[in-house]
C-alpha cells in the first residue's frame, strides 16, 4: 500500500527570528496574549520541550513506513466509509514519529491517505497561530502540547460536538490534563506522556561502591563525591528556555504547589525560594556552563556529557534509557544505566517529586473532514496502539533514528506482559514516578508568561542575585500580568 505523504516544514532561522516574532506581538490580541512577555516562546521554550532534531526526509520516512509492521489498535475492525476529496492533513511534531509509523495501519483499514506536515516543536506556534487566526482551512488533525489546548481552545472542535464521549478511567492524570481544557471540555485525545526520572551511570556507582540514591541527602552526597576533574556528579540543562520544568522538580521535592485555589501564583514563598537555593547548592557538582545557553535547549548538551561517561547522574525523560544503549550515541556500554525515582527529602517532605507533561491530537474547527479526523486520533490514542511505545522501540528508532516519543497516556500498557524484560526497569520506574507530584502547571493560558518570569528570576539567582529578592520581583510581575488579563 502507499505510505503517508510527508510535507516537510522547517523554520529557516535566517528568515524567521526575533524580529518576526516581535512583529507578531503587534497584531491582534489573540497572538499578543499567546506571545506576550515571551517573544521567544515559540522558538525557545518550545524547542526545548521536545526535540530539536531535524525532520526526517520524505524518502527516509516513506521507506521506513513501508517496512513498519502493523501495530495493535483498538480502532473498529470494520472499515468506516469516508468521502474525502484529498488526503487527510496532519500536523505532527518531529519528535513524535511513532504516530507516523502506525499511520499505515489506519490508511489500510480506511482507504484514506494521510499527508503529514512535520515540524520541530519550537516553530509550531508560528504555524498554528497564524493558521488558526486566518480562519482558513489548515489541518484536519493537529499535534498539541498541553498548554496549547487552552490557548487555542476557540479554534478547536470539542469532541462532544462529534458525538464522542471520552472515557478517562484508564488514563494517567497527566494525560487527562493533556486533552481537556480548563473549561472542562475535551478538545483532544492524549498521545505521549513525558516523565522525569533519575538515571545513574551504573559503572561509576559500582566502581566507587556507592549505592543508587534513595534520599535527597544521598543524591547530594553522590553528586559531590563524583565531582573530580572533568567528571561531574550531576549534569542538567539549567539555562533559560527550559529551566522552568527543571525548577518544578526541586519545588515539588520541597512540597510546593504553584497555583493557589483562586488561581494565584505562589512564587514568592519560602518553599519556592528554598527550591531555588537547593539548585544553587548543586551547581558546584555540575559543568559551570549549565546555566548558560545553549544548555536550556532540551538538555542536549547535558545529555552529551552523561552519555559520554562524564557525569554520574542526570534527571531527564525516557529517551535517555534508549539512547544510553545505542552505541552510536553512547559510550556507556551494553548495561549502562540504573533508573530510579527522583529521591526526595523524606520526613515531613515528599518521598519524591518530579515533572511530567502530556500531549494530544486535536481537530481544528476548519477541518471539513472531522469524522475521519476523529477516527484517526482514536487510532492513535488508545491503550493497544500506545503499547507500541513500550514494545516497538527498536522498530521505532529504525523508522526515525532521532525519534523521542514518550510513553503511553494509558495505564494498562505499563504492566503488559509483552514489555521487553530489558526495558521493564525503565517502564516500572516511570509508572511509579507518576504517583508523585509532577505538575508542569500548563493548565492555564498564562502558563508561558508565568514560566518565562520564573525562569528569569531563577536564572538571575544562579548568576549571583539574591534569590529572595528575585522571587519577590518576579511575583510582582506575575501578579500584574494576571490582574491585567483576568481568567488567564
> Is the dihedral angle over the CA atoms 96, 101, 102, 108 positive or is it negative?
positive
3-state SS, residue 97: coil
> Mean pLDDT across the stretch 218-232?
98
At residue 19, does pLDDT exceed 60? no
Better-predicted residue by pLDDT, 487 or 272: 272
- Which range has the worst mean pLDDT, 74-78, 236-240, 441-445? 74-78
pLDDT for 25 equals 28
Better-predicted residue by pLDDT, 334 or 159: 159
What's the 3-state SS for 419-437?
Answer: CCHHHHHHHHHHHHHCCCC
Please say whether the beta carbons of 314 and 234 come within 8 A: yes
pLDDT for 351 equals 97
Please list the residues that pair with 8 across neighbouring strands. 118
pLDDT for 121 equals 86
List, for residues 346-377, the tens digit of each pLDDT value: 999 999 999 999 999 999 999 999 999 999 99
pLDDT for 146 equals 84
**CA dist 131 to 104, 128, 365, 366, Å?**
27, 5, 12, 10
List, for residues 30-87, the tens digit of each pLDDT value: 322 333 333 333 333 333 333 333 333 333 333 333 333 334 444 444 667 899 999 9
Determine the Cα–Cα distance for residues 90 and 107; give it in Å rounded to an integer: 13
**CA dist 181 to 128, 178, 231, 442, Å?**
17, 8, 44, 10
pLDDT for 78 equals 62
pLDDT for 75 equals 45
pLDDT for 81 equals 82
List, for residues 415-437, the tens digit of each pLDDT value: 999 999 999 999 999 999 999 99
Q: Which CATH architecture has domain 5-194+357-433?
A: 3-Layer(aba) Sandwich (3.40)
Range(s) for CATH 3.40.190.10 in the chain? 5-194+357-433, 197-354+446-484
> Residue 142 — pLDDT band, cuts 50, 70, 90?
very high
Reference 20, options 132, 147, 127; nearest CA is 127
pLDDT for 324 equals 96
> Residue 443 — pLDDT band, cuts 50, 70, 90?
confident
Please say whether the beta carbons of 394 and 378 come within 8 A: no
Q: Which ranges constitute the DSSP H helices of 330-446?
A: 370-380, 383-386, 388-391, 393-399, 424-433
Total-model pTM = 0.84
At residue 186, does pLDDT exceed 50? yes
Percent pLDDT > 70 in the chain is 84
List, for residues 285-344, the tens digit of each pLDDT value: 999 999 998 887 777 899 999 999 999 999 999 999 999 999 999 999 999 999 999 999
> Mean pLDDT across the stretch 221-237?
97
> Residue 182 — pLDDT band, cuts 50, 70, 90?
confident
pLDDT for 242 equals 86
Whole-number CA gyration radius for the chain: 22
List, for residues 252-290, the tens digit of each pLDDT value: 999 999 999 999 999 999 999 999 999 999 999 999 999
List, for residues 385-417, the tens digit of each pLDDT value: 999 999 999 999 999 988 999 999 999 999 999
- Nine-digit cell string for 171: 488514563
At residue 143, does pLDDT exceed 70? yes
Phi, psi of 72 (to 5 degrees): -65, 150
> Is the dihedral angle over the CA atoms 390, 143, 51, 117 positive or is it negative?
positive
Q: If you count them, how many residues does the chain have?
A: 488
CATH fold for domain 197-354+446-484: D-Maltodextrin-Binding Protein; domain 2 (3.40.190)
Question: Virtual CA dihedral for 97, 98, 102, 104, nearest 10 degrees?
Answer: 10
Non-local CB neighbours of 476 within 8 Å, separated by 6+ positions: none
pLDDT for 114 equals 98
3-state SS, residue 292: coil
pLDDT for 61 equals 37
Determine the Cα–Cα distance for residues 178 and 168; give it in Å rounded to an integer: 12
The rounded mean pLDDT for the chain is 86
pLDDT for 47 equals 34
At residue 21, does pLDDT exceed 50? no
Amino acid at each position: 500500500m502507499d505510505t503517508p505523504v510527508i510535507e516537510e516544514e522547517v523554520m529557516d532561522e535566517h528568515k524567521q527570528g526575533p524580529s518576526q516574532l516581535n512583529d507578531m506581538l503587534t497584531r491582534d490580541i489573540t497572538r499578543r496574549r499567546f506571545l506576550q512577555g515571551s517573544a521567544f516562546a515559540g522558538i525557545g521554550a518550545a524547542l526545548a520541550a521536545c526535540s530539536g532534531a531535524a525532520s526526517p526526509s520524505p524518502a527516509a520516512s516513506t521507506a521506513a513506513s513501508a517496512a513498519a509492521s502493523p501495530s495493535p489498535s483498538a480502532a473498529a475492525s470494520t472499515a468506516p466509509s469516508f468521502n474525502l476529496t484529498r488526503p487527510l492533513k496532519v500536523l505532527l511534531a518531529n519528535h513524535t514519529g511513532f504516530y507516523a509509523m502506525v499511520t499505515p495501519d489506519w490508511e489500510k483499514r480506511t482507504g484514506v491517505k494521510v499527508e503529514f506536515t512535520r515540524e520541530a516543536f519550537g516553530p509550531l506556534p508560528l504555524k498554528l497561530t497564524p493558521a488558526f487566526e486566518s480562519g482558513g482551512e489548515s489541518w484536519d488533525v493537529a499535534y498539541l502540547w498541553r498548554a496549547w489546548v487552552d490557548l487555542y481552545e476557540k479554534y478547536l472542535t470539542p469532541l462532544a460536538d462529534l458525538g464522542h464521549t471520552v472515557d478517562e478511567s484508564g488514563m494517567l492524570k497527566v494525560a487527562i490534563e493533556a486533552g481537556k481544557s480548563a473549561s472542562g471540555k475535551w478538545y483532544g485525545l492524549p498521545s505521549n506522556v513525558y516523565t522525569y526520572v533519575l538515571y545513574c551511570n551504573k559503572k561509576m556507582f559500582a566502581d566507587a561502591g556507592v549505592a543508587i540514591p534513595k534520599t535527597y541527602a544521598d543524591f547530594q552526597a553522590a553528586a559531590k563525591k563524583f565531582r573530580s576533574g572533568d567528571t561531574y556528579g550531576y549534569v542538567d540543562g539549567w539555562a533559560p528556555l527550559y529551566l522552568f520544568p527543571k525548577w518544578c522538580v526541586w519545588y515539588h521535592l520541597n512540597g510546593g504547589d504553584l497555583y493557589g485555589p483562586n488561581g494565584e501564583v505562589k512564587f514568592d514563598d519560602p518553599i519556592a525560594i528554598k527550591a531555588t537555593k537547593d539548585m544553587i547548592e548543586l551547581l558546584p557538582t555540575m559543568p559551570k556552563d549549565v546555566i548558560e545557553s545553549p544548555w536550556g535547549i532540551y538538555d542536549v548538551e547535558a545529555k552529551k556529557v552523561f552519555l559520554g561517561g562524564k557525569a554520574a547522574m542526570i534527571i531527564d525523560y525516557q529517551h535517555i534509557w534508549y539512547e544510553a544503549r545505542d552505541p552510536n550515541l553512547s559510550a556507556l556500554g551494553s548495561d549502562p544505566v540504573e533508573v530510579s525515582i527522583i529521591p526526595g527529602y523524606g520526613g515531613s517532605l515528599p518521598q519524591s517529586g518530579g515533572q511530567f507533561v502530556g500531549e494530544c491530537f486535536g481537530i481544528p474547527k476548519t477541518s471539513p473532514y472531522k469524522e475521519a479526523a476523529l477516527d484517526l486520533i482514536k487510532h492513535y490514542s488508545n491503550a493497544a496502539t500506545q503499547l507500541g511505545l513500550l514494545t516497538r522501540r527498536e522498530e521505532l528508532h529504525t523508522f526515525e533514528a532521532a525519534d523521542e516519543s514518550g510513553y503511553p497516556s494509558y495505564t494498562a500498557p505499563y504492566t503488559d506482559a509483552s514489555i521487553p524484560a530489558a526495558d521493564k526497569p525503565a517502564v516500572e520506574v516511570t509508572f511509579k514516578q507518576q504517583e508523585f507530584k509532577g505538575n508542569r502547571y500548563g493548565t492555564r493560558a498564562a502558563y508561558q508568561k508565568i514560566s518565562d518570569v520564573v525562569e528569569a528570576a531563577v536564572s538571575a539567582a544562579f548568576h549571583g542575585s539574591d534569590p529572595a529578592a528575585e522571587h519577590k520581583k518576579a511575583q510582582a510581575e506575575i501578579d500584574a500580568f494576571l490582574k491585567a488579563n483576568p481568567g488567564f
